[in-house]
């Protein structure tokens, strides 16, 4: 049996950078002796989060939680790749924390666009999922009215003020095709303003590669955390192409009995899946089937 690992399986550039930042800060803290926190779990992966916990990294879920930390315990807070609202960074600094910003540069670019365009008087349209931390973070950099549009219908129903100038951006992990559909609705409605395609190419590449791989293998294994929406999306894409597609978090979830006829197994993984988990699954399948 042959096992093919998707080239872009696992951590994307931004997540890798954020995780590396935490490990670097752990090393630095040994010198500084100050506690380290991440603002929210650094990634949607329980394995990584527990490893960090064992190394003393604590998770702050909110500004309120940060405020409850005693003054002498206010060490370094690392902002994860999703980014946060401007006010969160400001308040953390005011509370006396040192803020290390590991926001992915592609997300940071959206913050900069939103800050600049909203300051120039444009209203902001974020094409993305309401409530997603990245979207909430982006919204928090806008100084003007902000609309969140998750689907074509919402774009059709959006009531903007007459003559309102818009700047349309998207959540980095939003589906590019859906983003285009939404933009098309605004175009039909004769909106006034600009569109910046901020869909991250890492997601597109991973999805296209997964689709292509799933279409030519007999079994497809998708590895990722339970709460990872990009892994779920990968699973759905693969499932459309390959009926025997399995979604696992770690090797422990893999209870496969493969039919004799299976010759080719494909493996891909979501953006928050660490390399060691991917390697473990890959080696296990190679040796045991
Ligand atoms: Fe950044 Fe794209 Fe990953 S925006 S966090 S490289 S999915």
Torsion of CA 258, 260, 261, 265, to 10 degrees: 40
- Positions marked catalytic: 134
Could you tell me the pLDDT band of residue 16, with boundaries at 50, 70 and 90? very high
Tokens describing residue 279: 């390697």
Decide: 271 in ligand 1 pocket, CB within 6 A: yes
pLDDT by residue (tens digit) across 83-115? 999 999 999 999 999 999 999 999 999 999 999
Q: What is residue 163's predicted lDDT score, i.e. its pLDDT?
A: 86
Atom 2 of ligand 1, residue of closest alpha carbon: 200
CB of 104 sitting under 6 A from ligand 1: yes
Q: Distance between CA atoms of 29 and 97, rounded to whole angstroms?
A: 14
Does residue 107 line the site of ligand 1, with CB under 6 A? Answer: yes
Atom of ligand 1 nearest to the CA of 173: 7
**Ligand 1 mean position to 172 CA, how many Å?**
7
Determine whether the shortest distance from the Cβ of 42 to ligand 1 is under 6 A. no
pLDDT of residue 22: 97
User: What domains lie within the chain, and their CATH numbers?
Assistant: 2-11+201-288 (3.40.1010.20), 13-103 (3.40.50.11270), 106-195 (3.40.1010.20)
Q: Are 111 and 103 in contact (CB under 8 A)?
A: yes
What average pLDDT is seen over the chain? 93
Cα–Cα distances (Å) from 70 to 36, 58, 60, 67, 87, in that order, read 14, 14, 13, 8, 21
Test site for ligand 1: of 82, 175, 271, 272, most ligand atoms within 8 A of the Cβ: 271
Please work out whether the CB of residue 203 comes within 6 Å of at least one atom of ligand 1. yes
pTM for the structure as a whole: 0.84
């Amino acid at each position: 049996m042959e096992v093919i690992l998707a080239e872009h399986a696992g951590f994307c550039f931004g997540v890798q950078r954020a995780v590396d930042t935490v490990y670097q800060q752990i090393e630095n803290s040994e010198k500084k002796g100050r506690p380290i926190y991440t603002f929210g779990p650094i990634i949607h992966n329980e394995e990584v989060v527990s490893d960090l916990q064992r190394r003393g990294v604590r998770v702050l879920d909110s500004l309120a939680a940060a405020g409850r930390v005693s003054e002498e315990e206010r060490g370094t807070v690392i902002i994860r790749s999703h980014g946060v609202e401007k006010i969160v960074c400001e308040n953390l600094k005011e509370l006396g924390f040192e803020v290390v910003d590991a926001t992915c540069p592609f997300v940071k670019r959206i913050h900069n666009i939103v800050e600049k365009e909203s300051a120039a008087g444009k209203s902001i349209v974020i094409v993305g999922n309401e409530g997603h931390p990245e979207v909430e973070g982006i919204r928090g950099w806008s100084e003007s009215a902000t609309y969140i549009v998750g689907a074509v219908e919402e774009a059709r129903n959006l009531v903007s003020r007459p003559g309102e100038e818009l700047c349309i951006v998207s959540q980095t992990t939003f589906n590019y095709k859906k983003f285009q559909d939404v933009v098309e609705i605004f175009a039909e409605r004769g909106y006034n303003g600009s569109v910046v395609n901020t869909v991250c190419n890492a997601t597109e590449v991973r999805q296209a590669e997964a689709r292509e791989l799933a279409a030519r293998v007999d079994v497809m294994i998708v590895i990722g955390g339970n709460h990872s929406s990009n892994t779920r999306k990968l699973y759905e894409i693969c499932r459309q192409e390959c009926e025997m597609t399995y979604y696992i978090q770690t090797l422990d979830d893999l209870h496969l009995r493969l039919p004799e006829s299976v010759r080719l197994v494909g493996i891909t993984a979501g953006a928050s899946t660490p390399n060691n988990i991917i390697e473990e699954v890959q080696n296990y399948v190679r040796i045991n089937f």
